Chains A and B, each alone.
Chain A
Amino acid sequence: MDLTLKVWRQENRKAKGRFETYSLKNISPDSSFLEMLDVLNEQLVNGNNEPVVFDHDCREGICGTCSLFINGRAHGPDEDITTCQLHMRKFKDGDTIVIEPWRAGGFPVIKDLMVDRSAFDQILQAGGFISVNTGSARDGNNILIPKHKADESMDAAACIGCGACVATCKNSSAMLFLASKVSHLALLPQGRPEAVRRAKAMVAKMDELGFGSCTNTGACEVECPKGISVAHIARLNREFLIANLKP
């Protein structure tokens, strides 16, 4: 396949970015999107040009490192996948592909297509944990958990923290991320003792870091590579309201 790429280039956090256009020839439709970018970078390096900086790590859809806003959609034009799972067969020969970084005040661009997502770490540090005594491993099934609760908790825990929800949301809201983190702990007995503190602290941190507020458009759940439902946002709202009612 022959392709034209319109790629966002930005020197550093402070620099003003711009789009650069590149032509690529003979790309295999079976290659992944990131492999296609690898080919581009090889071409750039061979021509003594600076390669395009982009995030990637596991390349099997579980680490949440790859990002990219491709042709107007987070992780590109396929459902329930990360960018590393996107294949070039989803595009046509001769296509022009626009590649942008996640755009949100909470995710400043570090360079080119790489953004700083440490805001998510800060939100987790504010309350996305449980306090337990360390020591020898506990017996399995020490605390019994109903199957449906464990399942729902696992659905929320599927969040890989990629940031597609923030990137897609018209308000750059981190509510789906926060909701999945709060939800997966709130559903389990181990998460209950700190539930009140957790909901308050994590919401306060999210607000402080400059993410917008949710307007329930539901775009986040459509673009989430793990298909996490906005029902978890309702649970977060519930947890937060209850936390504020308690003395």
Chain B
Amino acid sequence: MASFLNSSIGKKFLMSLSGLFLITFLLVHLVVNSMILFDPSGALFNNVAHFMGTNPIIRVVEPVLAIGFILHILYACILTLKNQWVRPVGYDKQHSGNSSTWASRNMFVLGALILIFLVIHISNFFWKIKFTGSELLDNGGVNGVENVYLLVTTLFINWWWIDIVYVIGTVVLGLHLTHAFWSAFQTLGLSDNRWRKRLVIAGWVYTILVAGGFALIPLWVKISSMIN
């Protein structure tokens, strides 16, 4: 096991598994958040958020998710550092554009930007809900259900630049995902010439759905508040 994890493919195996786990998480996260769009009163979103916060299965998965993030970030750093180090003298001239996509060459940079966004995002919502609390959460909450809807919409309505940060965050996430999806399967050995095409298309569908969906929410909240 130790020799497996010390090998380059073993480390990539962990990147791939943790990545697929995060890909699954994003989809669940989007389904929960999309409740904001379907019920302007916020009751639906609050109930679902309350369920996610109290359900025992989700509570167990929560630390696993944190471990998934940490593993993905840690191994990305280890692999990227080594990959930087193995070419002591670089090229004077290199045309990378015609042989690979920009996103595939810059996964670490995109990942680092996503990490910055993640810190902002967690401090905006998760941290307040879980630890520090907020007046907005208690405002209009019924039967112990916190008013997460009010916390989210207040932020998106009051600060337009927060909306922009969120849209940029989802674009960066989307670029990361365009390469991540197929790449994860390739590393696990679950690809060949036929499946590669299918997985790349599935990756694009997933990316547009998830990145587009997450970008839509702050825009929707902001624009609908301006119309009303």
Contact = CB atoms under 8 A, between A and B. Distances in A.
Interface of A: 6, 8, 17, 19, 69, 71-73, 98, 100, 103-106, 168, 170-173, 203-204, 206-207, 210-219, 222-223, 229-231, 233-241, 244
B189 A241 contact: yes
Interface residues of B, number: 44
A69 B91 contact: yes
A10 B196 CA distance: 42
Contacts of A207: 6-8
Interface in B1-25: 3-4, 6-13
16 contacts: A71-B93, A73-B94, A73-B95, A103-B87, A105-B85, A171-B83, A173-B8, A212-B8, A216-B179, A216-B182, A217-B105, A218-B99, A234-B186, A235-B189, A238-B189, A240-B189
Contact of A219 (B100, B107, B192): B100
A218 B189 contact: no
Nearest to A230: B186
A229 B193 contact: yes
Contacts of B82: 212-213
B192 A204 contact: no
Interface in B80-105: 82-83, 85-96, 98-101, 104-105
Given A207-B7, A213-B12, A237-B9, A98 B83 contact: no
Contacts of B77: none
B47 interface: no
A231 B89 CA distance: 30
Contacts of A104: 86-87
Interface in B180-195: 182-183, 186-193
Interface string B128-159: 00000000000000000000000000000000
Given A203-B7, A219-B100, A233 B186 contact: yes
A215 B83 contact: yes
Interface of B: 3-4, 6-13, 79, 82-83, 85-96, 98-101, 104-105, 107, 179, 182-183, 186-193, 196
Contact of B93 (A72, A218, A229, A235): A72
Contacts, number: 135
Contacts of A8: 92
B96 A210 contact: no
A66 B120 CA distance: 51
B100 A217 contact: yes
Contacts of A214: 8, 12, 187
Given A212-B86, A214-B8, A238-B188, 13 more contacts: A104-B87, A173-B83, A206-B8, A207-B6, A215-B79, A215-B83, A215-B183, A216-B104, A231-B193, A234-B192, A234-B196, A241-B13, A244-B4
A208 B66 CA distance: 32
A214 to B, nearest CB: 7
Contact of A222 (B87, B98, B182): B98
A100 B183 contact: no
Contacts of A211: 86
Contact of B83 (A103, A204, A213): A213
Contact of B99 (A69, A204, A222, A231): A222
Contacts of B182: 216
A233 B8 CA distance: 13
A172 B192 contact: no
Given A231-B196, A238-B189, A215 B107 contact: yes
B112 to A, nearest CB: 15
Nearest to A221: B99
